[in-house]
Amino acid sequence: MKFLAVSPEAGDWTKLSPLAGAVNHLTEAYARVGTEVLTCSPFYPALLGDISAYSCVFSGIEHLRNMPFEVWKSPNSLHTYIRCDEYFARPAIYGESGYSYSDNHLRFSFLASAALTYCAEIDFQPIAICGHDWGGALVGALAKSVYKDLFGTLPFFFTVHNITYDFHVTEQEIEKIGLSRADFNMDGYEFWGKVSLLKAGLFYASKVLFPSPGYREAMLNSNLPGGLSGFLCRNEKKLKGIQFGVSYPVWDFNIEADLPIEDAKRHARKKLEAHIEKNFDDHLVMYCHLDEESGRTSETLATILADITKLNFFVIVGVSHNSPEGEYYRSVAGQNPGQITTMDISPDDNELKMVLAGADILFAANPREPSASLVLKALAAGTVPLTGKEVGCANLLANYDGDFQNANAMLVDDAAAPDQMLRKLKEVADLFAAAPENWENIVRNAYRFRYEWDRTISQYLITFGECC
């Protein structure tokens, strides 16, 4: 079984983006089950570190605009890089100083075209084509236009990692990027009078895959701009949510010691106390992570923070040092140092891993992150998530509603509703005070929950099999 995958971000970067990390995990999981995937992404010299480890293995001319390209490889055979320094040897991926590169449509249509050309030239015969986000969206359209004699009958699977990202160009560019002008309408890839690369991916896809069932449902019930909501609803039958996994060797802090999770978390709690130079006493430790994917979490937390300090909680807020939110929470922590502190968010995953391991509760009010991977990372640390039933992976979790035997999460109907989140925290505090052994059972259930990338790939392959 062979697939061609095209992504604007993937490979052995010195620091992975969320998209590159997800595509890498998918690629590695395919390999573990014996599926051969040709994963093509741009050769970004600025992101790949020591490029002396890479070498050119192919040179050719793509067939969309007849431009030369090279294919580069490293000792990691799972990734294939399309090299064109005119397009990809830039300081950033999509743009600089808050402005997109004006030729992004040319850059990423070139990527798709070069990948298809290379696939044909080496006689790689996929049974399906996969594209990731708007930067990989045009491979499906090109397979049905410029490359229709070679790939026109293959199904195209389009994974939307985050629907808020797109790129628009004028209709004068349609032919330059290999689209059919006949499909430039509201039911095709037109968006407010322009060409939407995201909609092109959605339109030409046999199946559109979202990174969690919850995200699929949220997109169908959201008021997205430019008629996109209606477009998704009209194409609802080809939309599918498949939960993205997490890497447990990375996020399970107890994987090597393999202690009973209660003991492991007691050790982790002491380590966290020493790291932040605080004494938690007998408080439950609640962590709230405020980054670009945290959605309305900060607003919800700020509304009820004074009430939370009346309960048996020590609150740790992870926040960017230079953000206005950081200034606010540092000020509040200064007024209540015995129950609140802040931590600067670090790009180092080990810092987040440490705080999740030492915490008891993750406060995640309506995060925007489509796969809700922070919730899965918390569970991997035996940390119970408090979040909404509509969030990402929540449909896979068991809510505590009085039954501690199976529960592994604290779920509310609307995680952006401060009163609901506070009410659930009071339940947690009461349970911990009255029956700590029942709380520990919920912690054990949380730690037992597993959703590996191999499970994600098994669902991908089932979906592919239904269409191929």
Cα angle: 232, vertex 237, 238; to 5 degrees: 75
Residue 16: what pLDDT?
A: 92
Provide, rounded to the nearest whole percent, the portion of the chain with pLDDT above 70: 100
Is the predicted pLDDT of residue 200 greater than 90, yes or no? Answer: yes
> Domain 251-448, what fold?
Rossmann fold (3.40.50)
Least confident piece of the model among 76-80, 349-353, 387-391, 407-411: 387-391
Residue 34: what pLDDT?
A: 96
What span, in angstroms and rounded, lies between the C-alpha atoms of 326 and 328?
5
pLDDT, tens digit (0-9, with 9 covering 90-100), for 244-279: 999 999 999 999 999 999 999 999 999 999 999 999
- Categorize the per-residue pLDDT at 226 as very low, low, confident or very high, splitting at 50, 70 and 90: confident
Across the chain, mean pLDDT equals 95
Residue 387: what pLDDT?
A: 95
Of 94, 18, 15, nearest to 370 (Cα)? 18
- Categorize the per-residue pLDDT at 439 as very low, low, confident or very high, splitting at 50, 70 and 90: very high
What span, in angstroms and rounded, lies between the C-alpha atoms of 45 and 334?
44
- Categorize the per-residue pLDDT at 371 as very low, low, confident or very high, splitting at 50, 70 and 90: confident
Which 8-state DSSP code applies to residue 399? B
pLDDT, tens digit (0-9, with 9 covering 90-100), for 156-172: 999 999 999 999 999 99
Residue 346: what pLDDT?
A: 86
Let me know if the fold of 2-245+453-467 is the same as that of 251-448: yes
**Hey, how many other C-beta atoms are within 10 angstroms of the C-beta on 66?**
8
Least confident piece of the model among 96-105, 361-370, 457-466: 361-370
The residues near 368 (Cβ < 8 Å, ≥ 6 apart) are: 164, 293, 294, 295
Q: What is the CATH number of domain 2-245+453-467?
A: 3.40.50.2000
Residue 74: what pLDDT?
A: 96
What span, in angstroms and rounded, lies between the C-alpha atoms of 69 and 61?
6
313-319/284-290 β-pairing: parallel
Is the predicted pLDDT of residue 366 greater than 80, yes or no? Answer: no
Q: Is 431 exposed, middle or buried (0-12, 13-18, 19+ CB in 10 A)?
A: middle
Is the predicted pLDDT of residue 233 greater than 80, yes or no? Answer: yes
- Categorize the per-residue pLDDT at 296 as very low, low, confident or very high, splitting at 50, 70 and 90: confident
Residue 408: what pLDDT?
A: 98
pLDDT, tens digit (0-9, with 9 covering 90-100), for 384-400: 999 999 888 898 999 99
Taking the domains of the chain in order of start, what are their residue ranges?
2-245+453-467, 251-448
